[in-house]
Amino acid sequence: MSNGAVPNGSPAPTHTQSQRYLSTRGDDSGLSFEDVVLKGLASDGGLYIPEQVPTASQWESWKDLSFVDLAYEVLSLYVSPSEIPAEDLKDIIRRSYSTFRADDVTPLLPLQDNIHLLELFHGPTFAFKDVALQFLGNLFEYFLVRRNEGKTGRDRYHLTVVGATSGDTGSAAIYGLRGKKDVSVFMLHPKGRVSPIQELQMTTVLDANVHNLAVTGNFDNCQDIVKALFADPDINSTHKLGAVNSINWARILAQIVYYFYSYFSLARQRPDSFKIGDKVRYSVPSGNFGDILAGYFAHRMGLPVDKFVIATNENDILDRFWKTGRYEKQASYGSAAEGGLESDGVKAHEDGVKETLSPAMDILVSSNFERLLWFLAYEFASSAGMDDEWNKKQAGQEVSSWLADLKNKGGFGPVYKDVLETARRTFESERVSDQETLDTIRALYKDVAYVLDPHTAVGVEAAKRSAARAAPGAPLISLSTAHPAKFAGAVTLALKDEVGFEFDSKVLPPEFVGLDKKEKRVRDVENDWKAVRELVKEEVEEELKGKR
């Protein structure tokens, strides 16, 4: 499909029409923005996508807008004033980004050669998740205030958010929702598999509506529990479940903004060599595929992108898909020749997930990949020359069958050659080992005195490899997804021998000092979704009775 076109023949909605949403598995459609934000996951198990991706025909005219004004332009293409009046949407956006420490919210820095770093960690929890979760927290609040007007007690709509985290979504969601009325938030993290700072950021928040659960298992187990809860008619009839993971469409939507914003920042920084309309490459450290998928939507709206580089760690299901066309849970562990650290004691768990130095990306199944699969299947179906309804139906069926194979057989594929070629036209992939991650952190520190977090280092290493394939001088934007202080272990391992390097004075922000002395609240729970369901019911009840 050509750049920026809508995914079907019908015109995209205008500002005043309401955008409608459908499920990637085909059994749910015609939903409003508010419905999909509050529901999170479709009842057929699919993820919501807009029925039409709006073409941003005037996108060049956004070039001088502030982050907040640009966010309004982008979001208002998806949320009509009939759902959220313009002034209210502007107010939600303004409040969401007033909590950021950087004036331009997501600053772009020249890093090295033609690589620019998009710093996404200036929000309250020092990770890119804040960009979407500050917004989503305010959006939930807005919808709940509206729904609960004039209602009291048990008649009020009470949202029970259940989320899974490998470290960053958890604290960002908690900071986005703490203390908010009519919302309880249950955050499941894999016990002992998030960094110490990440764990403290979550468990030291003591607001009554915040519930941290440490699950015996890995991130995929946490994500499966969340999906099982959404699929369970029992808890759905008693509790209104809400999602904060990137299965929630609002997460992806908010992240589209910084692709446009960084593109314009690049044009301002390189007036002689980069013009509006030129193409750029983006390298994105990827796990659940939400961040890069937001870029894909920006591209479909019209942003000129040469390639998106999917940067994975040694949990490389995505990289293997791009190389082979097969999407299989079983991880292929790095060989000594690739510089893997297996022999140095990095743990490969029996469950197939490898514990790496970039733990937030220790994910086997990337839930948002399903959204891309829908578009790949849709384009494949479109080549048959049938009508748009048929194309969408085919796409839904194909995605359902791929996902059923993933669940029942552990994988699917190889996909049709044309499907893989479409995927390769827009994306390429790189797998970065732990050793390469450490080398990248060290090299950047030596060369430009900049400290990368390990996830960002995975992206920068992938960016360097991609730059070597791109046209000479072509600019590349590498996404910096977290502050290095969140990953003291990896950063210290990389830089401990560097003269003058000292973690506490060079990296640690004042906000993290003393966190370990604070009171914590967390409950351990087995990897058993029914046990989690009972615990959720129990704790919501206590919270509503005001006992917490």
Ligand X SMILES: N[C@@H](CCOP(=O)(O)O)C(=O)O
| Partner interacting with residue 134 (select from ligand X, ligand PLP, none; CB below 5-8 Å by kind) | none
Among the listed residues 140, 102, 92, 93, the one whose alpha carbon sits nearest the alpha carbon of residue 124: 102
Query: Which of ligand PLP, ligand X, none lies near 285, with the C-beta cut-off 5 to 8 A by kind?
Result: ligand PLP
Q: Which residues pair with 309 in a beta bridge?
A: 283, 428
Q: What does each C-alpha distance from 425 to 293, 305, 357, 419, 519 come to in angstroms?
A: 15, 11, 30, 10, 50
The 148-167 contact track toward ligand X, x by CB under 6 A, reads -----------------xxx
Q: Minimum CB separation from ligand PLP for residue 365, in Å?
A: 11
Residue 286 as a binder of ligand X (CB under 6 A): the answer is: no
Task: Give the residue among 434, 432, 401, 435 at the shortest CA–CA distance from 416.
Answer: 401
CB closer to ligand X out of 356 and 394: 356
Using the minimum distance from each CB to ligand PLP, give the nearer residue, 169 or 209.
169
Per DSSP, the three-state class of 29 is coil
User: Hey, what amino acid is at 148?
Assistant: N
d(CA 226, CA 215) in angstroms, rounded, equals 12
Burial state string for 28-42 with b = 16 or more CB within 10 A and e = fewer than 16: beebbbbebbbbbbb
Candidate list 119, 130, 168, 539; residue touching ligand PLP; CB under 6 A: 168
Check binding of 117 to ligand PLP (CB under 6 A).
no
Kindly list the distances between the CA atom of residue 525 and the CA atoms of 339, 350, 351, 492, in Å, as whole numbers in the listed order.
Answer: 36, 20, 18, 31
Size of the site for ligand X (CB under 6 A): 12
- Which of 13, 123, 287, 475 forms a contact with ligand PLP (CB under 6 A)? 287
For ligand X, give the closer residue by CB, 119 or 306. Answer: 119
Selected binder of ligand X within 245, 262, 312, 358 (CB under 6 A): 245
119 forms part of the interface with ligand PLP (CB under 6 A)? no
User: Does residue 430 interact with ligand X by CB under 6 A?
Assistant: no
In this structure, the dihedral spanned by the alpha carbons of residues 131, 133, 138 and 139, taken in order and rounded to 10 degrees, is: 100
Task: Map 38-87 to HEC letters.
Answer: HHCECCCCCEEEECCCCCCCCHHHHCCCCHHHHHHHHHCCCCCCCCCCHH
What is the rounded distance in angstroms from the CA atom of residue 123 to the CA atom of residue 101?
A: 6
Question: Which stretch, 215-223, 283-291, 464-472, 511-519, contacts ligand PLP (CB under 6 A)?
Answer: 283-291
| Choices 205-213, 287-295, 327-335, 467-475; region in contact with ligand PLP by CB under 6 A | 287-295
Q: Which of residues 307-366 bind ligand PLP (CB under 6 A)?
A: 360-361
Between CA 325 and CA 463, with CA 295 as vertex, the angle to 5 degrees is 70
Closest CA to 536 of 267, 247, 240: 240
Among the listed residues 286, 313, 394, 433, the single contact to ligand PLP using CB under 6 A: 286
Q: Which residue has the tokens 């922000």?
A: 509
Nearer to ligand PLP (CB atom), residue 6 or residue 108: 108
Q: Give the integer Cα–Cα distance in Å for 50 and 253.
A: 10
C-alpha distances in Å from residue 270, one per residue of 114, 266, 477: 10, 6, 13
Residue 509, number of CB atoms within 10 A of its CB:
12
Beta partners for residue 159, in sequence order: 183, 240
Q: CB of residue 1 vs ligand X: minimum separation in angstroms? A: 26
Residues 453-492 as x/- pattern, contact with ligand PLP by CB under 6 A: --x-------------------------xx----------
Q: Is residue 429 a contact point for ligand PLP (CB under 6 A)?
A: no
Instruction: Tell me how far apart the alpha carbons of residues 251 and 15 are, in angstroms, rounded to a whole number.
Output: 21
Q: Which is nearer to ligand PLP, 173 or 210 (CB)?
A: 173
290 contacts ligand X (rule: CB under 6 A):
yes
Q: CA–CA separation, 381 vs 393, rounded Å?
A: 9
Phi/psi for 411 (5° steps) reads 175, 175
For ligand PLP, which is the closer residue by CB, 167 or 302?
Answer: 167
Binder of ligand PLP out of 96, 171, 203, 246 (CB under 6 A): 246
CA nearest neighbour of 529 among 245, 210, 235: 235
Q: What residues numbered 142-161 form the site for ligand PLP, per CB under 6 A?
A: none
Is residue 530 part of the annotated active site? The answer reads no
Question: Cβ of residue 329: shortest distance to ligand PLP, in angstroms?
Answer: 16
* Binding residues for ligand PLP, total number by CB under 6 A: 16
Q: According to CB under 6 A, which one of 212, 262, 265, 288 is a site residue for ligand PLP?
A: 288
Which residue's CB is nearer to ligand PLP, number 214 or number 293?
293
Query: Can you tell me which of 127, 174, 215, 495 binds ligand PLP, judged by CB under 6 A?
Result: 127
The site partner of 165 among ligand X, ligand PLP, none (C-beta below 5 to 8 Å per kind) is ligand X
Q: Choosing from 39, 63, 129, 409, which is the catalytic residue?
A: 129
| C-alpha 236: how far from chain center | 25
176 sits near ligand X (criterion: CB under 6 A) = no
Say which residue the tokens 């949403």 belong to: 21
Q: Shortest gap between Cβ of 46 and ligand X (angstroms)?
A: 15
Residue 298: how many CA atoms within 13 Å on its side-chain side? Answer: 34
Task: Please identify which residue in 169, 265, 315, 466 interacts with ligand X, judged by CB under 6 A.
Answer: 169
Residue 245 contact, options ligand PLP, ligand X, none, Cβ 5-8 Å cut-off depending on partner type = ligand X
* 119 vs 182, beta carbon nearer ligand PLP: 119
Beta carbon nearer to ligand PLP, 224 or 388: 224
Which residue has 């293997």 as its token pair? Answer: 320
512 lies in the binding site for ligand PLP (CB under 6 A): no
Residue 168 as a binder of ligand X (CB under 6 A): the answer is yes
Q: Which residues are catalytic?
A: 129
Positions in the binding site for ligand PLP (CB under 6 A): 127, 167-168, 246, 285-291, 360-361, 455, 481-482
